[in-house]
């Protein structure tokens, strides 16, 4: 039976017996700034104390950076040339297309492509934007966590 653990956003548990490293690694990224810190079980006394310190540091660091505190994915800067996060123009060989990507309700990445040759530049972009918007609405209508 697999050991059940609670997941915390931006916090990774590290158990590396060969290097005697046990603790939590926290990574925060917001608007081009990155912060990270490791919370060792040994330094904080035990696993729970290290986790509590990691959670406190994560929350305070997000507040300092101005990042909203939520368990959902939050996008700071839109880097897409299309103006829509998750929609981009791609080229593979001689094939050009618009690609829409999103996170599914179970946390997996979804993706679909629309050929520029088949649909035309404007319509391919429009279709990719529409799919992205629909998938985001679906994801936000479902709870962040589902019980097993």
This prediction has a pTM of: 0.54
Which residues, listed in sequence order, are joined to residue 90 by a DSSP beta bridge?
97
* pLDDT score at 68: 84
Task: Report the domain count for the chain.
Answer: 2
Cβ neighbours of residue 47 under 8 Å, at least 6 residues apart? 22, 41
Q: Does 94 reside within a domain? A: yes
Task: Name the nearest CA neighbour of 107 among 63, 77, 143, 80.
Answer: 143
Task: Name the nearest CA neighbour of 58 among 14, 9, 22.
Answer: 9
Q: What tokens appear for 129 in the block?
A: 């934007």
Is the pLDDT at 127 greater than 50? The verdict is yes
**Rg of the chain (C-alpha set):** 20
Rounded to whole angstroms, the Cα distance separating 75 from 28 reads 12
| Whether residues 100 and 132 fall in one domain | yes
Which segments of the chain are extended strands (E)?
Answer: 11-16, 21-30, 33-40, 87-92, 95-103, 109-115
- Kindly report which listed range (5-19, 64-78, 104-118, 127-141) carries the lowest average pLDDT score: 64-78
Q: Does 128 reside within a domain? A: yes
Spacing of C-alpha 145 from chain mean position: 15
Q: Does 25 reside within a domain? A: yes
* pLDDT score at 147: 46
Q: Identify the domain containing residue 121 by its residue range.
A: 87-141
Q: Does 41 reside within a domain? A: yes
| Whether residues 15 and 61 fall in one domain | yes
Which segments of 17-69 are extended strands (E)?
Answer: 21-30, 33-40
| Whether residues 102 and 132 fall in one domain | yes
Q: Does 76 reside within a domain? A: no
For range 139-146, the mean pLDDT:
63
Taken in order 130, 133, 136, 137, the sign of the CA dihedral is negative
| Whether residues 99 and 131 fall in one domain | yes
Q: Does 43 reside within a domain? A: yes
Q: Does 3 reside within a domain? A: no
- Kindly report which listed range (25-29, 39-43, 54-58, 64-68) carries the lowest average pLDDT score: 64-68
| Whether residues 106 and 60 fall in one domain | no
| Whether residues 131 and 92 fall in one domain | yes
């Amino acid at each position: 039976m697999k050991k059940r653990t609670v997941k915390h956003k931006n916090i990774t548990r590290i158990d590396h017996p060969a290097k005697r490293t046990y603790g939590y690694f926290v990574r925060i990224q917001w608007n081009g700034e990155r912060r990270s810190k490791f919370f060792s079980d040994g330094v904080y006394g035990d696993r729970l104390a290290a986790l509590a310190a990691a959670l406190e540091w994560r929350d305070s660091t997000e507040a300092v950076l101005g990042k909203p505190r939520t368990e959902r994915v939050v996008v700071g800067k839109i880097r897409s040339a299309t103006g829509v996060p998750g929609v981009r123009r791609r080229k593979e060989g001689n094939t050009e297309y618009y690609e829409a990507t999103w996170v599914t309700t179970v946390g997996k990445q979804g993706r679909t492509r629309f050929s520029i040759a088949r649909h035309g530049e404007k319509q391919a972009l429009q279709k990719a934007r529409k799919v992205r918007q629909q998938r985001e609405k679906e994801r936000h209508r479902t709870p962040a966590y589902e019980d097993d």
